[in-house]
Amino acid sequence: MAGSNTLPFELDRDLSKARIVQLLDTNDPLIEKALFERAYQVKAEHVGTQVYFRGIVEFSNQCVKDCYYCGIRRSNTQVRRFTMSEEDIVAAGLWIHDNGYGSMVLQSGERRDAGFVDFVERVVRKLKEKTQGELGITLSLGEQTADTYRCWLKAGAHRYLLRIETSNEALYRQLHPEDHDPSVRLACLKWLRSEGYQVGTGVMMGLPGQTSADLADDIAFFKDNDIDMIGMGPYIVHSQTPMAATIKDFDPTRQLQLGLRMIALTRIVLQDVNIAATTALQALDPRGRELGLEAGANILMPNVTDVKYRDAYQLYNGKPCMDENALQCKDCLRARIESIDETIGLGQWGDSPHFFKRRREIGQIHE
Ligand code: SAH
Ligand code: SF4
């Protein structure tokens, strides 16, 4: 039996769907402890205990989509819309680089117009130029065409995050208007992969109507689609959305529990991928991100967006660190990471080992 596992079954990559459901639903603290310990062991073995930072800049809340759960959806007229200037985004990227974060995530609402595509291309090029190619760039800009993904890759981005939100198609349809098509997301993930990105996806946990069996299927989806990076977090209500009524059933303790257990199970099943401890965990518990690292995550995404924009980029209520600038955030994070005896992979991209493994297997790179 592996490590300190006292369970009557192995916690390994072949966990069955029934076992995953059982582990998501258990009321036994000893079983949960064994799960987290095993996940940490698998993380240490396959990706190490260094935490890699991606400084995230949420540069625009303009969005053409209308996802029912999201605070910056198109129909929310109470949001002040903004887009940061090219200069301000580049300045934020240089701060990230100068402070040794290694990588940056550019995230925004979704736009597909030519003006936006060119804007992002210029920003990415400039960031690469000004850092002599040293800054790693991840994009999280929604559904685009294969041509757009190629254009941004050529400009210098090399990782892309696009969550499927849920692998249950019927549930996806309940959470989105009719013209939001889950098959487009799947096509986008395929294009991203064939263009050569490190591909990240993820889901929300604890969505209304979502079952533990759905979450087990989500993990199977990540595995079957050979995903390199996972960014997932608990669903949190936003009061100005059509799903605001779900607040009456909202149980933050269960949301956090699901968030952490999903990280642990995904680590055990997928082993060598990058997994982020996302901000939504911290919104539910001040130590949420550290708990995420202890449950098997190895990536943190400190928010580097200028504080003056943060209240306009609230995807959900209670987003933490709304008034902490990047420098305060950096010092706070260092202390948090030291508190759990991990180190920060400064100045490194911290790419997903899984990406290199799958590329080696298909003979696309030789190391
Ligand atoms: N527009 C892009 C990127 C920004 S949204 C996109 O949708 O891909 C990034 C993620 O925020 C989404 O994928 C969704 O999973 C998450 N999100 C949105 N609203 C949320 C909520 N109420 N609670 C938790 N996560 C939410
Ligand atoms: Fe737009 Fe992304 Fe929010 Fe959907 S989740 S409304 S695409 S920002």
Using 50, 70 and 90 to split pLDDT, how confident is the model at 3? Answer: very low
Question: What is the rounded CA–CA span in Å between residue 284 and residue 291?
Answer: 11
Q: Which of 56, 110, 144, 172 to mutate to test the pocket of ligand 2 (most atoms within 8 A of CB)?
A: 110
Whether 171 shows a pLDDT value over 60: the answer reads yes
Question: What is the rounded CA–CA span in Å between residue 269 and residue 165?
Answer: 19
Report pLDDT for 248: 84
Pick the ligand that lies closest to the CA of residue 66.
Answer: 2
Pick the ligand that lies closest to the CA of residue 72.
Answer: 2
Q: How many helices (H) and strands (E) does the chain have?
A: 14, 10
Strands 204-205 and 198-201: unpaired
Report pLDDT for 364: 61
Alpha-carbon dihedral sign for residues 127, 130, 131, 132: positive
* 44 Cα: distance to centroid of ligand 2 (angstroms): 34
Whether 133 shows a pLDDT value over 80: the answer reads yes
User: Do the Cβ atoms of 2 and 41 come closer than 8 Å?
Assistant: yes
pLDDT tens digits, 145-157: 999 999 999 999 9
* 317 Cα: distance to centroid of ligand 2 (angstroms): 15
Report pLDDT for 7: 84
Report pLDDT for 367: 42
Q: For the whole model, what pTM was predicted? A: 0.95
* Rg value, the chain, Cα: 19
